[in-house]
Amino acid sequence: MDKRKPEWVPEASSDHFATNVIRGGRADASRSKGHSPSRKTWNIDDIESGLITGNRTMLAKAITIIESNSPKDFETGQELLKRLLPRSGNSIRIGITGVPGAGKSTFIETFGLYLIGLGKKVAVLAVDPSSSISKGSILGDKTRMAGLSSHESSFIRPSPSGGVLGGVARKTREAMILCEAAGFDVIIVETVGVGQSETAVRSMVDFFLLMQIARAGDELQGIKKGIIELSDLIVVNKADGDNVLAAEKAAGEYNHVLHMLRQATQDWDTKAVTCSALYASKIEEIWDIINEFVELTTENGAFLKRRSSQVTAWFETLLHEALLAKFYQDRKICELLPKLKLEVESGQAPVVYAVTKLLKEYYSGIVDDLPQASQ
C-alpha cells in the first residue's frame, strides 16, 4: 500500500487527508529532534483499513489504543469502535475458565490449532484483573501457546493489566469487537476460575466452558455451584495415561449433578465430557458440541437474545458507573457528603432530607426539575 502523504491539504479537508505535511527541508530537522523514522505514528484511517484486511499489527495497535487510559486515545479508540462495529458480531465467542493448572493454555493451543486446521481464524483474549498485582498466572500467555501464537491465522493478546475488573472486562469486550472486524471467527476468552471474573466473561460470550481436572474423591468440592450453573460444557481435562478412569468418573459425577441444576442456556442440557489437551484427544467432540449448541440456540432464538441482552446490560452498567463516578467526583459533593453523612449517622438529619439536599446541590444550575430522592 502506498503510504505517501499528499503534498497539500484542501481547506475543507476530511480525515482522509494527511495532516502531517512535510515541507521541503524540514523532514530531516524533525528527525534530528528525536523522531525516529521507525516510530511511525499511524493515523486512524491507516489502522482501520489495515485492521479490516486482517493485518495483525494494526489489530494489536488498535487494541493498545482502546486499552490506553489517555483521554486522546480514548476518543480515537471509541471512533475506531464506532467505525468497526458494523463489521463485528460474526464469530463464536467462547469463554474458558478453570483453576490455574487445569490445562487452559494447553487446551487453547490444541483446540486453536485444530480450528485453524478447519480453516478458522482464532483470537485468544483474556480477563485477569489480578495479573498486574500477582503477576501469577498470565492468561493469554504466548509462550504457553507457542504453536498457536506463531500461526498467521491466530491472534493472542494477554489480559489488559491494571485497574478494576469492570475496566479490564470492558477492554477485553472492545478488543473482541476489533478481532471480529479483523475477520477472526472464533474468539476465545480465557479467565481463571476464582473470584468474579468468570461472571464478567460469561456476560460477554456465547458459550461458556468450565475446565476441570479429576481430583481423587473430591470432584465436586471447592467448586462453586454458581460456576457450574454458568457453564454450557464441563470438560474434565488430562484424561490420559493412568488418569483416564478418574477423569471419566469425575465427568460422570458432574453429569449426575448437572441434572439437578438450573440450565445456563435455554433448552440446553449442559454436560460433562473428558479430553486430553496434551494428547489432543476428544478435541473434535468438543467442537461438535459447540456447533450443536450454536445450532440449537440459533433455532430457539437464545443466541441472539443473549447477545442483545449482554449489550443492553453492558450499556446500563457503564451508564450507571459513569453517572455515579461523575456524582462522587463533583467538588461540591465531596465537601457536602461527609458532613451530611455525619448528620445522618448522629440522628441530626433525616435520610431523605440529606439525599435530597445532595441531589439539589449536584443538580443546581444543571437542570430545573430535580429527581426525587426516593418514591
Least distance from C-beta 105 to ligand GDP, angstroms? 4
Please select the residue that binds ligand GDP; options are 176, 233, 277, 283, rule is CB under 6 A. Answer: 277
Binding-site member from 58, 59, 80, 102 for ligand GDP (CB under 6 A): 102
Question: According to the binding rule CB under 6 A, does residue 237 interact with ligand GDP?
Answer: yes
Kindly state whether residue 271 participates in binding ligand GDP, applying the rule CB under 6 A.
Answer: no
Which residues between 128 and 167 bind ligand GDP (CB under 6 A)? 137, 144
- Cell output for 95: 469463554
CB-wise, 76 or 137, nearer to ligand GDP? 137
Least distance from ligand GDP to the Cβ atom of residue 102, Å = 4
Residue 240 near ligand GDP by CB under 6 A = yes
Helix axes of 331-345 and 302-329: crossing angle, nearest 10 degrees: 90
Residue entry with cell 489488559: 160
| Piece of 15-23, 104-112, 313-321, 362-370 that binds ligand GDP (CB under 6 A) | 104-112
244-247: long-range contacts (C-beta < 8 A, 24 or more apart)?
244/274, 246/214, 246/216, 247/213, 247/214, 247/274
Binding of ligand GDP by 105 (CB under 6 A): yes
Pick the binder of ligand GDP from 278, 294, 302, 344 (CB under 6 A).
Answer: 278
The one segment of 8-16, 65-73, 94-102, 302-310 that binds ligand GDP by CB under 6 A: 94-102
Q: How many residues bind ligand GDP (CB under 6 A)?
A: 16
Query: Which SS3 state, helix, strand or coil, does residue 186 take?
Result: strand
Question: In sequence order, what DSSP letters do the residues of 46-100 get, joined into one string?
Answer: HHHHHHHTT-HHHHHHHHHHHH---HHHHHHHHHHHHHHGGG---SEEEEEEE-T
Q: How far apart are CA 290 and CA 267, in angstroms?
A: 14
CB closer to ligand GDP, 104 vs 306: 104
Distance CA 126, CA 157 (A): 7
The binder of ligand GDP chosen from 77, 98, 112, 140 (CB under 6 A) = 98
Q: Which is nearer to ligand GDP, 84 or 139 (CB)?
A: 139
Q: How far apart are CA 159 and CA 179, in angstroms?
A: 14
Q: Which stretch binds ligand GDP (CB under 6 A): 222-230, 232-240, 261-269, 320-328?
A: 232-240
Identify the DSSP state of 214. Answer: -
* Least distance between ligand GDP and beta carbon 270 (Å): 20
CA torsion 7→11→14→16, rounded to 10°?
Answer: -10
One-letter amino acid of 42 = W
Look up residue 135 and give its amino acid.
K
Nearer to ligand GDP, 50 or 193 (CB): 193
Task: Tell me how far, at minimum, the Cβ of 154 lies from ligand GDP, in Å.
Answer: 16
Q: Which of residues 87 and 144 has its CB atom nearest to ligand GDP in the complex? A: 144
> What is the rounded CA–CA span in Å between residue 234 and residue 253?
11
Interacting residues toward ligand GDP by CB under 6 A: 98, 100-106, 137, 144, 237-238, 240, 276-278
